[in-house]
Structure 1
């Protein structure tokens, strides 16, 4: 059973999430926090498998709480809940270490799949928001130099990472380079291992922060 900690300043939202996740899908809601100030202590005491985190909260917001959690490598993954006006905060939450984001008000089945995917070590980038977050990254000033960590990648792995940064799926990458789906998956697994990336959300962050994807959204020549 997946253990969930819910963090949101609105009691009605917490009650709704609790009802959907516990009653409909059988998740174990181990605790709730009304803002980010008590999240680190709650995680230590309750040992959840995932933290479902709001971003706009009083006292300590979701970005600061996510960064505080991710400072400990043993902490559970964070799935951020958001609304359409949170583009810059979402980008900051991903940089802070969130494993994905989800729109409030999505169908219950999407919430179920997102929580399960992130709790099991994956990522969830809501397609309705991904493009807006990437636009926020593209509007930022480019880094001064390419991250030296990318030196461990092969030319093809760099190309694959750049496409991940542009929001492409494995299937789209395979079609562009005329590769099999299994080959692309192998490249993704290798570059994740070499760069010590948690998930696809972390790969998007690195692709932009390292300069592999330019602020205008393009990838540098191979």
Structure 2
């Protein structure tokens, strides 16, 4: 009832601002995630050279993997989210506070790293570039479609409610939204009523965001990135053994 009354706000500025921020956060995550498609060529582009140099004993698979990981991670997966996120944060007039800003940048970076990790794995598993691009794009799009903005877990059938847990995008988006709106009280004047106050936590709950999962979302996102890197390394080792 409180949220419904708030939507009747005379100027609609509060709801409008929330909608703009939710949409902008989703687009920002999507932009950074699709940027991870550049990782499809990280290993394949130098595969022949690596196999030749490894056969001559210059270095092992671990050294090659670590060098690629560090170069790609620092230059393409950490610096761009920090730069883009900083501009976005202040241009969109996001929530004030240093801690909120740090969490915002951290989640964006983890989202980018996780998407890149998935693309690395797909690029290494599928040697056909066109097919790898298609599969990686579909994975990111599917992850995007499973966010609470498009599929509210509370409105889904009980047997299908678990599917949004497969989306790395959902963890990043939920953490960003909660970081922005948690514990905020919206103030407005409803039609024919006195001053109205609505807690953002109530709005988050109706949208399907679980406030208590705030820290868990960040933890799971970190785990997905590390898992993706581990699987990529194991697959690299396996492919080297096949070449032998």
Length-normalised TM-score, structure 1: 0.25
More strand by share: 1
Task: Give the structure with higher Rg (CA).
Answer: 2
Q: Could you tell me the TM-score, scaled by structure 2's length?
A: 0.23
Q: Which has the higher helix share?
A: 2
